[in-house]
Chain A
Amino acid sequence: MASMRDIKRRKESIQSTEQITKAMKLVSTVKLQKARTRAEHSKPFFDMMYETVSNMLAKSGNINHHFLKAGDSPKKAVIVITANRGLAGGYNMNVAKLVTKGELKREDVVIYNIGRKGKEIFKRNGYEIAADYSDVIENPLYSDAMHIGEEVLKAFTNNEIGEIYLAYTGFKNTVVHVPTLIKLLPVEQNHTKQNEKESVDNVPMNYEPEEDEALDIIIPKYINSLIYGALVESVASENGARMQAMDNATSNADDMIADLSLKYNRARQGSITQELTEIIAGASAIS
């Protein structure tokens, strides 16, 4: 049986760890609330953008636009959004797995990375990282999304990459976060959502400026808004995941402390009993 002192030391160490996890849980709870309101506020823009663009593509029939076709290059850009910090359960790993365990071949993938943890993972696995924007994840702004979108699109127009994907964690609610991989470019025309609502009124849409030019402008905006939406959702998910992880850690620490207290008390009782027996034995030996 471990000595009393060992058990006590162990217990104290767990107690101080528990204090840290508790504090981290509180911090991420507060951050989660903030991030969630933000995600909720940006949702309408996100949804509307999606709807408008799919409507546009549905109504305008077969437009032959370079954003709607895959480029010639076999390279595929993946924008991956992870966190700058760990201790968030499987959060970072789950996003990275979408890329590493998915159908994408490692040689073809070019990573546009957001979040230090993801960078570490991809570096370790030998992926090509084209750019790193880890600073933005703390407080994503729309202009950050615009900046990233611009860079990726530039590579696409220069034919350095043929397709663009986006890997992030979707935020369903506080406890449900879904790692998601979506294709940004070429824009897929047959989304299932579209088929559901055939009701799209068949009034032909006019464009000002001309269709091609309008798409040239609108599709980058569409991509920017998707990136922005993904950023804010990921931040919310990150804090949600961390809150959960820290909650688990705290309750595990509680369990361990309860177990150790029991052991400690038993060891204490055992040592007292032993001392008593020794004293009595000594006394009876003298008399």
Chain B
Amino acid sequence: MAGKLFQLKIISPDRIFYEGEAWMVEFTSSEGELGVYADHVPLTTILVPGIMTIHEQDGIKKAAVHAGFAEILQDRVNVLAEVAEWPEEIDINRANEARIRAERRLGGASGEANINFVRAELALKRSLTRIKLLS
């Protein structure tokens, strides 16, 4: 049921993560989950840690994308991701550890500075995304 294709580019600071044609891409923005087809209204949106699902003509690809933003134009979508990972690059044990660590920090003494709280929350989100992607 492939629809009209558009150019999708996902770029992270270290490499071009993905470049190809897709007919739909799904990801999590700061305002909620988004599914984008070709000829979408031009939109720039902020990404939050989540799974990005790329619907190609012959199959689906999933990746974990943490932080960044997406620029949606009529015939192409550019995603600038600060961190992007394919499932096979994720270490489940590390993700689990990070989740537990973050949870402890969040549940722990609230005397710690605010910035740590925000950081721990982000770390938790990231690790949950990784775990979800692998499960």
Q: Is the CB of B42 within 8 A of A217?
A: no
Interface size classification for chain B: 20 to 34
Q: Is the CB of B78 within 8 A of A48?
A: yes
Contacts of B80 in A (CB 8 A): 45, 48-49, 52, 221, 225
From B9, B45, B73, B78, contact of A208 by CB (8 A): B45
From B11, B43, B82, contact of A205 by CB (8 A): B43
B69 beta carbon closer than 8 Å to chain A: yes
B129 beta carbon closer than 8 Å to chain A: no
From B9, B29, B42, B45, contact of A204 by CB (8 A): B42
B44 beta carbon closer than 8 Å to chain A: yes
From B31, B42, B67, B68, contact of A209 by CB (8 A): B31
CB contacts under 8 Å to B, within A199-217, are 201, 203-209, 214, 217
Contacts of B68 in A (CB 8 A): 221
Known: A48-B80, A206-B41. A41 touches B15 (CB 8 A): yes
Q: Is the CB of B46 within 8 A of A203?
A: no
A228 beta carbon closer than 8 Å to chain B: yes
Q: How far is the CB of B45 from chain A (nearest CB, A)?
A: 4
Interface size classification for chain A: 20 to 34
> Once bound together, how far apart are the Cα atoms of A214 and B45, in whole Å?
7
CB contacts under 8 Å to B, within A214-259, are 214, 217-218, 221, 224-225, 228
Contacts of B13 in A (CB 8 A): 42, 45, 142, 225, 228
Contacts of A201 in B (CB 8 A): 73
> Once bound together, how far apart are the Cα atoms of A214 and B30, in whole Å?
10
Known: A44-B16, A208-B29, A208-B43. A218 touches B69 (CB 8 A): yes
Contacts of A207 in B (CB 8 A): 43-45
Q: List 17 A-B contacts (CB under 8 A).
A: A38-B14, A41-B15, A44-B16, A45-B12, A48-B80, A52-B69, A52-B78, A56-B44, A142-B14, A203-B74, A208-B45, A208-B46, A209-B46, A214-B69, A221-B69, A225-B13, A225-B80
B33 beta carbon closer than 8 Å to chain A: no
In the complex, the chain A residue whose C-beta lies closest to that of B79 is: A48
Contact with A along B25-63 (1 / 0, CB 8 A): 000011100000000011111100000000000000000
In the complex, the chain B residue whose C-beta lies closest to that of A217 is: B46
In the complex, the chain A residue whose C-beta lies closest to that of B46 is: A217
Contacts of B41 in A (CB 8 A): 206
Knowing that A41-B15, A142-B83 touch, tell me 20 more A-B residue pairs with CB under 8 angstroms.
A41-B14, A45-B11, A45-B14, A142-B13, A201-B73, A206-B44, A207-B45, A208-B29, A208-B43, A208-B44, A208-B45, A209-B30, A209-B31, A214-B45, A217-B30, A218-B46, A218-B69, A225-B13, A225-B80, A228-B13
> Once bound together, how far apart are the Cα atoms of A221 and B47, in whole Å?
12
In the complex, the chain B residue whose C-beta lies closest to that of A52 is: B71
Q: How far is the CB of B66 from chain A (nearest CB, A)?
A: 11
Looking at B12, B73, B82, which has the most chain A CB atoms within 10 Å of its CB? B82
Contacts of A45 in B (CB 8 A): 11-14, 80
In the complex, the chain B residue whose C-beta lies closest to that of A150 is: B115
Contacts of B71 in A (CB 8 A): 52, 55
